[in-house]
Structure 1
Amino acid sequence: MATESILKFLGLKWEDQVECRLSIGPAVAEAEYSTGNFTVAIDAENLKVVVKSFTGRVVWQSLHNHPFVQSTLGEDDMGDGEGGCFDIKEHDEHLTVLQTIERVEHTKNSVTIKGGLGTKLVPPTHVEYTFSFTEIAPKHLQFQVRIGKEGSGIHANTYKRAILTYESHKEEDFYGFGEQFSYSTLKGQKVPILVREQGIGRGAQPITALLNSQPQIFGKFAGGDDFTTYAPIPQYITSDNRCLFLENSEYSSFDLRKLDRVVIRVNARLVTGRIVDGRDMFELISNYTEYCGRMRALPEWAGQGAIAGMQGGEDKVRQVYERLKEYHVPVAAFWLQDWCGKRVQKVGKAELKRLWWNWESDDELYPNWTQLVQDLKADDVRTLSYVNTFLCDVKEKPSARRNLYAEAHEKGLLVKDPKTNASLYISSGPEWDAGLLDLTNPECREWFKQVMKESVFSSGVSGMMTDFGEYTPYDSSKAKFHSGVPPEVYHNQYPQEWAKLADEIVHELGLEEEAVLFHRSAFTKSPGYMNLMWAGDQNTAWDQHDGIKSAVTGMLSGGFSGLSIMHSDIGGYTTFSGVVPGLSLKRDKELLFRWMELSAFTCAFRTHEGINPEMNAQFYDTEEHYLQFAHTARIFASLAKYRQRLLTEAQTQGYPVMRHPVLYHSQDKTVRGMSYHQFYLGSSLLVAPVLSPSATFVKVYFPKEDGVTWRHIWNGKYYPADSSYVAIDAPMGQPPVFVKEPRQDDGLLNELMEYATKYYEYELVHKQK
């Protein structure tokens, strides 16, 4: 005790000074046990547990003489969560440093390891645990860890957190974890899994520091950091063809900072997950998506042209549509987010253009809403609207016909404040509060379904931006749900339940082959309820933290985790001036044009005016803007048949449409370190978008592939797949894109090649004149 007291006096922890150990009891035989196609071996000599697939390949193993199960006391601090901004601070006390294996129980279907965890290097250990392995499907080995006795209560000093540690190595790269916007491979990082607002800046300076320093304006932690994301998923795939995921929804983190190990920390006494086996990354994705669900293929109309996102009312929409026809822009749809009315939010000296969260058409902006929708549809142009799970009180909106907030509040359908049992107000910035639908309440779900059918879909719209999902409070002291589920458990589930509810509406209306609903927030099982994700609110900027580069990183990252059908706001979203002195953020023509080029090679070609439209370059500004918009929309439309085949692969096999090069070249170290630099669209197109201002060329890497060359779609030049970098000219309108030779696309890329050749020849003649 004297030693422990001295360490405490010096500010040191006892457990940090004690070497962790694993001991195997004398009653445990060194043996190999089978469960389906997997084997679990107790290696008493090397003091470890090894799991192998039916081929003998190691898919999981613990570290030599180190606990693979541990636990701690302590409560994590997530911050106040205002505006969906959660600042995570993990807090651990009294880490168990000793694990014993006292017995192994083997049945036909499972292998269960039982023993104890302790904080001292002398018996008896004082925390029981079980760790079981069960093959529940071919190539799916479920593991389950329980801390403490089953059915035992939880008290203040109860160990209720599981920490799992197992082997990796310095050359193993990790991909996935949902949408991660800062890094492609997460090796060397610690990845928190909590659905939250992405933040503004996410590490880009000075914007992140300035926003985080103004909590009175933006709320705490509004700038975010490298790991703030709308769509984190506790799952990864590695360059060693290993895949693991958790089935839990409680907060977890994956610590990959030590090169020889993975440390998973889960705020739960009962942790369930799976080890997935597969020959390569594609098979791992396919096997994983058997669990999480696969995104439904987009309807064919969505690939026929641009989804023109704009605001301003019926007259403006009709005027812009006439101009689009003049420039022969292929238009698939208009996305009109202000269909429900525009509301101005004052932040400092700035005025942000936001929406009335009351899901009915606005009679001032769109007096003939249904007629507008029908007129566009008669021209084979769809209309998309906007909906989220918030309801704001519209008693101050003169043109409101129905106050959905008042109705939901009266019926008790909103998330409640546990202190007052009244409807909880959720903040989205200064003077912006709203109620949040309680999706655990069956009555709420049925009521909102009816609202959606009567107020949204009855006009004939073909879908919507299905926004938000990350603002749900995390702390039980701040929110109460109808079902009684703790917010700490339900927080991450909320976006997937929102996607499920929206998907149920689509199916009940019979619109599965017509509707497009695009989401920004997601969790593990979200893909099974979606047909389109978007990368959320990027800054109108070029950087890799929260600009155009980060959008590419996020879209590619999500593909490892089942988010296979992705796109981003063309031009970015976050724009402001006057909010913070000396800081201005707005998009210019070049950023808008280059983002159009990028989006031509994603799953949807959709513009966004941004939160301050007047400050941003827009596709309808000048003739030059219309011409670039027409050109890039035609590129997108020329890929319709090829992309539709990729969408079918996403639906049937879970493969991402946009593919990180590591999926094809997992042993190429250059490829493994790439993030936003280049990607494959399917297997036959290599895309290297222009992502820097004033760039006239892009350095493109051609991974080694025997017998393959890549043909430049614009000038027809060929480049061998020989692991070389080549500087490729990239004038505006001609992003570096290459088709694989010999051709393997069954002619589905012919339309793209024909268009690119004609465009290049026209531009060449035009320059000569």
Structure 2
Amino acid sequence: MWPAWLSARLLSQSPVTLTNADVSSLASSRPSLAYDLGHGFSLTWSANPSQLVITGNNDTIFASNGNFNMTEVNVDICQKQTVTEIGTSHGSDTPSVTVKGDLLECGNSTATTKYTLSFGVPPGFQDRVAFQLEVFRASNSPTANTSQPLTKIYLTHESHASEDFYGFGAQASFASLKNQTVHILSREQGVGRGDQPATSTADAAADFAGGNAFTTYTAIPQYITTDARVVYLLEQYIAYASFDLSSPHAVRVRYGGRAVGGHVTRGTDVLDAGAVLGIQGGQDKVMRFVEQGLENGVDCPIAAVRLQDWTGTHFQEARYNDPDLYPDWTTFVQTLRSKHDVHTLSYVNTFLADTGTKPDKPKRNLVLEASKLSYLIRNSTTNSTLIVSSGADMTADFLDVTNEKTRDWFASVLQYTPVTLDVSLYNAANALTYHNQYPRDWAQLQHNIVTDLNKASDAVVFHRSAAFLSNRYMNLFWAGDHNTNWGRNDGIQSVVPVMVHMGFSGFPQQHGDIGGYTNVLTPAPPDGNVTRSAELLGRWGELAAVSSAVFRSHEGSIPSCAAYGWPLLRAPVVYHTADQRSRRVVHESFYLADLYVAPVVAPGMPRLSVYLPGGENEVYAGGQHVEVRAPYGQPAIFVVNNATSDELECLWDL
């Protein structure tokens, strides 16, 4: 039987069951076909057993046999698949192989559905194989079936029970993603993400505001496995997708469009700063904190201040407040630089708040200007600007950066597109399809701005929301707004998993807010509150000192040595893929170049039980747990094999 490795979905009502597809007539006439793809890659199709296999360097790299809460509904999936043609093309420097066929029994549709699946080595990338899949109606199909358009495609390839998966962007709650279904949708990550009581408290304030273990600012359609297998979708395929890793023997990719492409490859192994103070309260307070820090002789020099209240403040569920916090902004910024060699960072996003109701009205009302110029996202149903809520008493308009004039008018960010059918964009037909591209557009816009100002070498631009290839336009990733607690899904324990998976996703330099950000105060008993203790702040500082490219504090919501693009922070599985325990300790320990670090991420722990991965050290042998002292201010850090490498020396320089 030809395996069900490809299928399509129609937009209609009656559900069907996906089964193995029929054997095509081609199978009986040509039981086995082999093609050379060039650069050491080959493609083989066999009828018995029915299988499509791509190999490279004698290894199998691909084999096929058979606040947005996304709910997937799969109806009218085509039940049968045939192969009618396999052929080669030499239109480029390397040959390509194209498989063509039909998808049959697609619900109650009588239309003929066809597919084309091509494989070849992409120009400029001789270490991987590209695939391109398209599903379409036959030209002679009945026009009456236009009411049942093709909306999604599925692509399945082989895995095995012991293959573990990493990557997919900022994933905070898991070590390996095996046995999970990962949704590729950038959104607000939520408050708590499953940690209680923060999640239920946030959900009570706004629908799904707490999120879950998969909600994330940065979702990337890419993964790397313990078999050193890499799969990713190309940058133009940005529609909503999901990767179902729940089967022990297969990966099933669901893509929200009729065409998709990507790359697959397999390697030989998984790998073939100063402080930034987050301060609020105006220029007098900022200057006082900087000078106090310098006078007290802090061990780590102050490199910058991050002033997110530079545009004023907004107290939720209270009143607007726009005090004159920085009356001499330009002079103040220059004084910090010239007198103390301290740079200034600020926070900018795409939310525009209507300032017309403020007691002390600012000089410009950006909402009014943008509305008159038609630079805001609109609701096509009501024919009005779209208002987005981030909680009680927190509403804003959204800039439409698909309009080039909007970009020119306001260098800002649209990080999260509202995903509803009545969202109207200037230059995008479908909000759901375009949604995941916004973070990359914003990163590129900021990159272009600092480049045009000739400030690229003097600027640090970091984002907490990103998309595939956003790393082209940023030099630092921000792990996001964590809860100020010890939580596994959204507290201190979630920081290292985010950095690990982002590292696997191609973002080598990262950092997080020291101490977290989100505080929650509730009328419930005190144990329902999320507040930061002195111990948590100290332990978080220890973690940041040995994990982050930048050491940056945060007040809370209530007031480079990465060769070959390898991530600065590396999970133990990077070096010990065969060690099953190394695949599971991502929350507990990690490598920082030639250091092995076991941070304290739970309260009241003066000692730690630390797992040392396989290998030998003159003090500790690998492959065992050891108990070590880790008193406050002294995290458990091991030097690997008496390392004296240049990479380790670079860490000391930082």
What TM-score comes out, normalization by structure 2 length?
Answer: 0.90
For 1:483-562, list aligned pairs within 5 A: 483-562=427-506
- In the alignment, structure 1 residue 223 sits paired with structure 2 residue 195: no
Aligned 8 A contact 1:100 1:116 in 2:
yes
Q: CA deviation at 1:748?
A: 5.2
Aligned 8 A contact 1:208 1:224 in 2:
yes
Change (3 A) 1:433 1:263: same
User: Aligned to 1:603, which of 521, 533, 549?
Assistant: 549
Q: CA deviation at 1:123?
A: 13
Change (3 A) 1:107 1:196: same
Aligned 8 A contact 1:117 1:125 in 2:
no
- In the alignment, structure 1 residue 475 sits paired with structure 2 residue 420: yes
Matched with 1:174 is 165
User: Aligned to 2:353, which of 379, 392, 395?
Assistant: 392
Aligned 8 A contact 2:464 2:478 in 1:
yes
For 1:724-735, list aligned pairs within 5 A: 724-735=624-635
Matched with 1:127 is 113
- In the alignment, structure 1 residue 343 sits paired with structure 2 residue 314: yes
SS at match of 2:254: strand
Matched with 1:665 is 576
How far apart are the structure 2 equivalents of 1:223 and 1:750?
A: 40
SS at match of 1:576: coil
For 1:52-131, list aligned pairs within 5 A: 52-53=55-56, 55-63=57-65, 66=66, 85-108=67-90, 109-119=95-105, 126-131=112-117
SS at match of 1:523: coil
How far apart are the structure 1 equivalents of 2:394 and 2:111?
A: 52
Q: CA deviation at 1:19?
A: 3.9
Matched with 2:3 is none
Matched with 1:374 is 334
How far apart are the structure 2 equivalents of 1:341 and 1:750?
A: 39
For 1:303-452, list aligned pairs within 5 A: 303=273, 305-329=274-298, 330-346=301-317, 364-378=324-338, 379-397=340-358, 398-449=360-411
What residue identity is the alignment partner of 1:97? Q
Aligned 8 A contact 1:200 1:224 in 2:
yes
What residue identity is the alignment partner of 1:491? H
**Bigger shift: 372-381 or 21-30?**
21-30
SS at match of 1:139: coil
Change (3 A) 1:150 1:745: farther
Matched with 2:533 is 588
**Bigger shift: 127-136 or 574-583?**
574-583
Aligned 8 A contact 1:441 1:482 in 2:
yes
- In the alignment, structure 1 residue 49 sits paired with structure 2 residue 52: yes
How far apart are the structure 2 equivalents of 1:22 and 1:565?
A: 49
Matched with 1:199 is 190
How far apart are the structure 2 equivalents of 1:198 and 1:207?
A: 13
SS at match of 1:500: helix
- In the alignment, structure 1 residue 141 sits paired with structure 2 residue 129: yes
For 1:669-748, list aligned pairs within 5 A: 669-682=580-593, 684-705=594-615, 708-709=617-618, 718-720=619-621, 722-746=622-646
How far apart are the structure 2 equivalents of 1:280 and 1:334?
A: 40
Gaps of 5+ in 1: 1-11, 67-84, 284-302, 357-361, 453-466, 614-643, 710-717, 756-769
Aligned 8 A contact 1:25 1:103 in 2:
no
What residue identity is the alignment partner of 2:639? V
Change (3 A) 1:19 1:387: closer
Change (3 A) 1:584 1:312: same
Aligned 8 A contact 1:147 1:160 in 2:
no
What residue identity is the alignment partner of 1:318? M
- In the alignment, structure 1 residue 31 sits paired with structure 2 residue 33: yes
Aligned 8 A contact 1:28 1:104 in 2:
no
Q: CA deviation at 1:732?
A: 0.7
SS at match of 1:553: helix
Matched with 1:161 is 152
Change (3 A) 1:259 1:406: same
Aligned 8 A contact 2:561 2:650 in 1:
no
Aligned 8 A contact 1:98 1:121 in 2:
no
Aligned 8 A contact 2:76 2:106 in 1:
no
How far apart are the structure 2 equivalents of 1:277 and 1:150?
A: 36
Change (3 A) 1:578 1:249: same
SS at match of 2:626: strand
How far apart are the structure 2 equivalents of 1:555 and 1:267?
A: 28
Aligned 8 A contact 1:180 1:557 in 2:
yes
Q: CA deviation at 1:243?
A: 0.7
Change (3 A) 1:94 1:399: closer
Q: CA deviation at 1:99?
A: 1.2
How far apart are the structure 1 equivalents of 2:516 and 2:106?
A: 54
How far apart are the structure 2 equivalents of 1:609 and 1:23?
A: 63
SS at match of 1:229: coil
Q: CA deviation at 1:655?
A: 1.2
How far apart are the structure 1 equivalents of 2:582 and 2:191?
A: 29
How far apart are the structure 2 equivalents of 1:120 and 1:61?
A: 25
What TM-score comes out, normalization by structure 1 length?
Answer: 0.77
Aligned 8 A contact 2:112 2:138 in 1:
no
Measured against aligned partners, the alpha-carbon deviations of 1:206-226 in whole angstroms (never above 9, x if no partner) come to 3323433x2xx32x1111111
How far apart are the structure 2 equivalents of 1:675 and 1:280?
A: 18
What residue identity is the alignment partner of 1:132? S
Q: CA deviation at 1:125?
A: 8.7
User: Aligned to 2:181, which of 186, 190, 207?
Assistant: 190
For 1:177-326, list aligned pairs within 5 A: 177-212=168-203, 214=204, 217-218=205-206, 220-247=207-234, 248-283=237-272, 303=273, 305-326=274-295
Aligned 8 A contact 2:572 2:586 in 1:
no
Q: CA deviation at 1:102?
A: 1.3
Matched with 2:8 is none
Aligned 8 A contact 2:220 2:468 in 1:
yes
Change (3 A) 1:106 1:340: same
Change (3 A) 1:587 1:110: same
Aligned 8 A contact 1:28 1:101 in 2:
no
Change (3 A) 1:536 1:468: farther
How far apart are the structure 2 equivalents of 1:326 and 1:234?
A: 48
Aligned 8 A contact 2:220 2:505 in 1:
yes
**Bigger shift: 330-339 or 201-210?**
201-210
Q: CA deviation at 1:107?
A: 1.4
Q: CA deviation at 1:119?
A: 2.8
Change (3 A) 1:22 1:273: farther
User: Aligned to 1:40, which of 38, 43, 49?
Assistant: 43
Q: CA deviation at 1:191?
A: 0.8
Matched with 1:566 is 510
Measured against aligned partners, the alpha-carbon deviations of 1:154-191 in whole angstroms (never above 9, x if no partner) come to 93312321111111110000010111011120001111
How far apart are the structure 2 equivalents of 1:246 and 1:751?
A: 34
How far apart are the structure 1 equivalents of 2:284 and 2:211?
A: 39
SS at match of 1:513: helix
Identity within the alignment, %: 39
Aligned 8 A contact 2:109 2:148 in 1:
no
**Bigger shift: 571-580 or 239-248?**
571-580
